């Protein structure tokens, strides 16, 4: 071949791929031969093993080998719908193959020839059927066929044959991005073998070998990227604490700090005395008192002449932090500012000017704080609260503000340890594993709506005794389904069982000012019951609230329920969490029973991971982590650990992956993180 074809070539060099088809492939993220070969099958049809028809269970997807013994003539059911029936046998039992509208398929099945069929078995025990199965002619050496995720107008067959063409073109000596030392040490197959087998496996063992290698490569790449990201964020900081004493802070509080809080504060203060910026996560269950850690640090920073920025995910939380901080620091002369989205333009303008002039020591706000328009006079520390709402990319944007300020993220979402390694791979971690003294365990019960009335009477009792409660229900507005809206729900309570109680509603559609007002009235005790959507989920702190009732509890993940439950049990009164669900499913029952049994956030997170997969934790890529093609966070944990150790080792020997043997790895990392627009290499 005269023209040099490489992995970088556009797929248009392949036979059968014109401009139009290339555009369809583009939709799948496939442009080059390399990306085509990296477009792994979603699954496989394994024609290498099949069952006797007798063992193919109705309702299951099965593979059977059978011979065609009769072909019924085409039956026209109505205009535009033809039905073809083909009768096949394995010698013992028969099966009816039904094909709709495809004369082509019908004709492909020849009388007296053997085929292997793959599809869902329907019909009944006496007469089994398969509708529109996949099939291939039977031969001595059967294969596993790849099944790809498709896009409109691009069939599985076209993708498979395009991949096949590409595989024929690439040379045996294709460059392996993994260094030979690694493939040898971990007994991984060669890149080229892996690519061939992942698309067209000879058998299950070969597929396994290929998968293992590709998973290893992917997770290694991911970890290298995380570590590089971390070191990139670690340019020297200009913010070094000279005065690191913080004991005076504790004297400002009405309580003494827990050991875990002290430890976390000390770890942070220690970090901030170094030449590199702190990059730390404080993880602690709901109610463990993370806010005090932030306050203590802001105190230290202010004493050293630096500003602290505190970002909360919602206006309500920002507001709450503002109140907490102004309360604690009322006698210290620290200057605190709330930069809220609802400020009038002129006020905002003057506040931002003051921030820039360094006239505030502590600035509290929402995400808006990282907007480019806000600049700081002497930013020393950025705290992001409830960090699971912030992504990796946002974190690094923050780091760009000021002169490499210290960074502290606080999260109440317990993340299974192993997942934490990935999500927070770029952070050091402090765990607050101790609740303030005197906290009582929240009593949790799961009920059906039959017992709702009783539950409401119970709530009424508590309200009458001067305590407060939340009821969470899913929807803002009527319609969509028969689920109740917050508004209607509140009205019904007001008219009926909670007649005379002071009830208010809270939901995401309220204007920030209205939300604040509602929250304020609840916080002050003016409102007794808050009927809300999950906007109360994160961080809201009202110690006098003792009941959290959740309607349609089946709609929430365990971690989310745990967060909701964390809104109560914050004072010294006994608290209750009531989960209402009429959902009959076994899985739901199990989930709710987990909630009733344990209050350990980490255990709940592990359970959530098991049941719902990592999607919840990674939620629509909001963490800014690259999307994985083949590795699975829940089942490939061993490889994850292996590759994590290896990644550290590699970078300790070759900081920028600049040695020639690491060229391939370096390229893999750039490719994986390309969507992040992260400049991992200088
Ligand atoms: P979270 O970790 O969920 O953010 P908060 O910081 O909101 O928790 O604290 C929850 C409640 O516990 C607040 O009312 C706070 O004042 C209180 N608190 C924090 N630390 C202590 C402590 N050491 N002793 C007693 N109460 C504390
Ligand atoms: Mg909090």
Q: Which whole number is the average pLDDT over 566-574?
A: 87
Ligand 1 lined by 436 (C-beta under 6 Å): yes
Token pair 């969470």: residue: 472
- Domain assignment present for 323: yes
Q: Give the mean model confidence (pLDDT) for residues 572-592.
A: 91
Q: What is the SS3 string spanning 21-48?
A: HHHHHHHCCCCEHHHHHCCCCCEEEECC
What is each CA distance from 271 to 42, 45, 262, 275, 516, in whole angstroms?
A: 45, 54, 14, 9, 35
Tell me the two tokens of residue 78.
């109505």
Residue 516 has pLDDT above 90, yes or no: no
User: Cα(459) to centroid of ligand 2, in Å?
Assistant: 25
Cβ atoms within 10 Å of 74's Cβ, excluding its own: 13
Asked if residue 338 and residue 309 are part of one domain, the reply reads: yes
428 vs 334, more confident: 334
CB distance 601 to ligand 1 below 6 Å? no
Nearest atom (ligand 1) to Cα of 291: 6
Of 286, 289, 321, best ligand 1 pocket probe by most atoms within 8 Å of the beta carbon: 289
**Predicted local distance difference test score (pLDDT) of residue 2:** 40
The predicted structure's pLDDT at residue 649: 93
Tell me the C-alpha distance between 648 and 652, whole Å: 6
Q: Which of 506, 524, 504, 601 is nearest to 320 (CA)?
A: 524
How many angstroms separate the Cα of 354 from the Cα of each of 336, 372, 377, 617? 11, 16, 9, 38
Cβ–ligand 1 contact at 432 (below 6 Å)? no
What percentage of the chain reaches a pLDDT higher than 70? Answer: 87
Q: Residue 308's closest CA among 321, 299, 317, 318? A: 299
Segment holding 191, helix H or strand E: helix 191-199
**Helical packing angle, 315-328 and 290-303, nearest 10°:** 60
pLDDT at 578 over 60: yes
Same domain, residue pair 44 and 63: no
Kindly report which listed range (223-232, 235-244, 323-332, 614-623) carries the lowest average pLDDT score.
Answer: 614-623
**35 Cα: distance to centroid of ligand 2 (angstroms):** 43
Domain boundary among 598, 616, 635: 598
Report how far ligand 1's centroid is from the alpha carbon of 541 (Å). Answer: 8
With respect to residue 192, please indicate whether it lies within any of the assigned structural domains: no
Average pLDDT of the residues of the chain = 86
- Give the confidence band of 233 by pLDDT, cuts at 50, 70, 90: low
Burial of 180 (0-12, 13-18, 19+ CB in 10 A): exposed
Domains of the chain: total: 4
Closest Cα to atom 15 of ligand 1: 289
- Total residues belonging to the chain: 682
**Interval between CA 323 and ligand 2 midpoint (Å):** 13
The per-residue DSSP string of 235-288 comes to ---S---S----HHHHTTSSSPPPHHHHHHHHHHHHHTTSSSPPEEEEEE-TTS
Which is the closest atom of ligand 1 to the Cα of 258? Answer: 23
Whether pTM > 0.85 for this model: the answer is no
In a shared domain, residues 54 and 116: yes
pLDDT of res. 603: 81
Residue 421 has pLDDT above 70, yes or no: no
In a domain, 73, yes or no: yes
Domain of 32, in residue numbers: 1-48+155-171
Examine the pLDDT at 396 and tell me if it is beyond 90: no
Two tokens, residue 474 = 């899913």
CA of residue 571 to ligand 1 center, whole Å: 9
Average pLDDT over residues 319-326: 92
Q: How far apart are the first and last CA of the chain?
A: 37
Could you read off the pLDDT of 22-59 as tens digits, one per residue?
999 998 889 999 999 999 999 999 888 899 999 999 99
**Mean pLDDT over residues 638-660, rounded?**
89
Q: What is the DSSP annotation of 617-647?
A: HHTTTTT-PPPPSS--TTT-HHHHHHHHHHH
Residues 407 and 266 grouped into a single domain: yes
Relative to the alpha carbon of 285, which ligand is closest? Answer: 1
CA 649 to CA 546: how far, in whole Å?
Answer: 50
pLDDT over 60 (residue 588): yes
Residues 396, 501, single domain; the answer is no
Give the model's pLDDT for residue 426.
64
β-strands 428-432, 545-550: how paired?
A: unpaired
> In the numeric block, which tokens belong to residue 470?
């939340």
Query: In terms of C-beta distances under 8 Å and separation of at least 24 residues, what long-range contacts does 193-196 make, across chains too?
Result: 195/37, 195/167, 195/170, 196/167
Question: pLDDT tier at 478 (50, 70, 90 boundaries)?
Answer: low
Alpha carbon 517 to chain centroid, angstroms: 32
Ligand 1, atom 17, lies closest to the CA of 289
Same domain, 397 and 486: no
Domain limit, last residue, from 121, 142, 163? 142
The CATH number of residue 568's host domain is: 3.40.50.300
Q: At what angle do helices 204-232 and 191-199 cross, to 10 degrees?
A: 120
Residues 194, 187: Cα–Cα separation, whole Å: 13
The mean per-residue pLDDT over the stretch 556-578 comes to 88
Write out the two tokens for 439: 């906290």
Q: What pLDDT, on the 0 to 100 scale, is given for residue 430?
A: 86
Which residues pair with residue 62 across a beta bridge?
119
Q: What is the mean pLDDT of residues 180-196?
A: 95
* Token pair in block for residue 427: 């952070």
558, 578, 598 - which closes a domain: 598
What is the model's pLDDT at position 619?
A: 42
pLDDT computed for residue 226 by the predictor: 80
Structure tokens at 458: 């119970």
Is residue 7 scored above 50 in pLDDT? yes
More confident position, 597 or 233? 597
What was the pLDDT predicted at 398? 66
Nearest Cα residue to atom 5 of ligand 1: 289
Same domain, 299 and 328: yes
Reported as a pLDDT band with limits 50, 70 and 90, residue 391 is low
Average pLDDT over residues 265-279: 91
Check: CB of residue 137 under 8 Å from CB of residue 88.
no
Range from 252-261, 405-414, 474-483 carrying the lowest mean pLDDT: 474-483
Given ligand 1 and candidates 250, 251, 290, 291, which is best to mutate, with the most ligand atoms within 8 Å of its CB?
291
If asked whether residues 56 and 42 sit together in one domain, one would say no
Closest CA to 63 of 116, 108, 129, 109: 116
Residue 191 lies in a domain: no
**CB neighbours of residue 149 within 10 Å:** 12
Q: Is the dihedral of CA 492, 497, 503, 507 positive or negative?
A: negative
Per-residue pLDDT averaged across 614-632, rounded?
58
Read off the CATH number of the domain in which 119 is found: 2.40.50.140
β-bridge partners, 545:
468
Q: What is the pLDDT of residue 679?
A: 47
- pLDDT class for 487, splitting at 50, 70, 90? confident
Distance of CA 549 from the midpoint of ligand 2 (Å): 20
Residues 11 and 104 in one domain: no
User: Cα(242) to centroid of ligand 1, in Å?
Assistant: 28
Checking if the pLDDT of 565 tops 60, the result is yes
């Amino acid at each position: 071949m005269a023209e040099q074809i490489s992995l970088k070539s556009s797929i248009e060099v392949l036979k059968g791929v014109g401009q139009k088809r290339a555009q369809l492939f583009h939709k799948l993220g496939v442009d080059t031969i390399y990306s085509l070969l990296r477009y792994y099958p979603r699954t496989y049809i394994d024609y290498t093993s099949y069952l006797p028809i007798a063992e193919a269970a109705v309702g299951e997807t099965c593979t059977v080998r059978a011979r065609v013994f009769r072909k019924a003539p085409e039956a026209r059911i109505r205009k535009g719908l033809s039905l073809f029936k083909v009768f096949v046998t394995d010698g013992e039992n028969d099966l009816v193959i039904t094909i709709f509208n495809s004369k082509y398929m019908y004709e492909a099945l020849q009388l007296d020839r053997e085929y292997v069929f793959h599809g869902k078995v329907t019909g009944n025990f006496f007469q089994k059927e398969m509708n529109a199965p996949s099939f291939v002619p039977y031969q001595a050496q059967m294969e596993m066929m790849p099944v790809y995720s498709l896009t409109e107008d691009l069939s599985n067959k076209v993708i498979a044959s395009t991949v096949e063409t590409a595989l024929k073109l690439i040379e045996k000596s294709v460059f392996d991005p993994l260094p030979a030392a690694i493939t040898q040490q971990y007994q991984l197959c060669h890149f080229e073998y892996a690519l061939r087998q992942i698309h067209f496996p000879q058998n299950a063992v070969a597929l396994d070998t290929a998968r293992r290698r590709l998973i290893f490569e992917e997770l290694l790449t991911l970890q290298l990227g995380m570590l590089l990201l971390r070191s990139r964020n670690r340019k020297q900081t200009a913010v070094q604490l000279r005065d690191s004493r913080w004991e005076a802070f504790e004297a400002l509080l009405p309580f003494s700090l827990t050991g875990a809080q002290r430890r976390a504060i000390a770890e942070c203060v220690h970090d901030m005395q170094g030449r590199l910026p702190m990059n730390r996560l404080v993880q602690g269950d709901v109610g463990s008192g993370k806010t005090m850690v932030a306050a203590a640090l802001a105190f230290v920073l202010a004493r050293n002449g630096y500003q602290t920025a505190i970002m909360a995910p919602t206006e309500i939380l920002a507001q709450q932090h503002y109140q907490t901080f102004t309360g604690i620091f009322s006698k210290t002369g620290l200057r605190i500012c709330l930069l809220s989205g609802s400020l009038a333009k002129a006020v905002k303008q003057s506040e931002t000017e003051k921030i820039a002039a360094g006239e505030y020591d502590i600035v509290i706000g929402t995400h808006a704080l990282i907007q480019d328009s806000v600049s700081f006079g002497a930013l020393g520390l950025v705290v992001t609260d409830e960090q699971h709402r912030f992504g990796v990319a946002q974190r690094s944007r923050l780091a760009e503000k000021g002169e490499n300020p210290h960074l502290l993220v606080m999260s109440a979402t317990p993340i299974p340890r192993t997942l934490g390694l990935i999500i927070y791979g770029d952070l050091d971690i402090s765990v607050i594993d101790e609740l303030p003294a005197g906290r009582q365990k929240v009593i949790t019960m799961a009920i059906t709506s039959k017992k709702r009335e009783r539950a409401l009477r119970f709530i009424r009792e508590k309200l009458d005794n001067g305590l407060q409660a939340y009821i969470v229900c899913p929807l803002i507005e009527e319609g969509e389904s028969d689920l109740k809206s917050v508004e209607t729900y509140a009205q019904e309570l007001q008219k009926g069982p909670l007649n005379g109680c002071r009830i208010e509603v809270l939901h995401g559609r309220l204007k920030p000012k209205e939300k604040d007002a509602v929250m304020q009235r609840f916080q002050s005790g003016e409102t007794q019951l808050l009927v809300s959507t999950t906007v109360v989920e994160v961080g809201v702190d009202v110690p006098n609230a003792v009941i959290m009732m959740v309607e349609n509890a089946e709609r929430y993940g365990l971690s989310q329920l745990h967060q909701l439950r964390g809104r109560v049990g914050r004072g010294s009164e006994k608290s209750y969490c009531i989960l209402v669900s009429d959902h009959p499913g076994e899985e739901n029952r199990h989930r709710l029973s987990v909630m009733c049994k344990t209050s350990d956030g980490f255990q709940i997170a592990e359970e959530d991971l098991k049941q719902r997969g990592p999607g919840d934790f990674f939620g629509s890529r909001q963490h800014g982590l690259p999307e994985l093609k083949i590795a699975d966070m829940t089942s490939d944990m061993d490889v994850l650990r292996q590759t994590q150790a290896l990644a550290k080792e590699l970078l300790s020997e070759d900081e920028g992956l600049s040695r020639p043997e690491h060229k391939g790895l370096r390229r893999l990392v750039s490719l994986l993180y390309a969507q992040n627009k992260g400049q991992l290499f200088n």
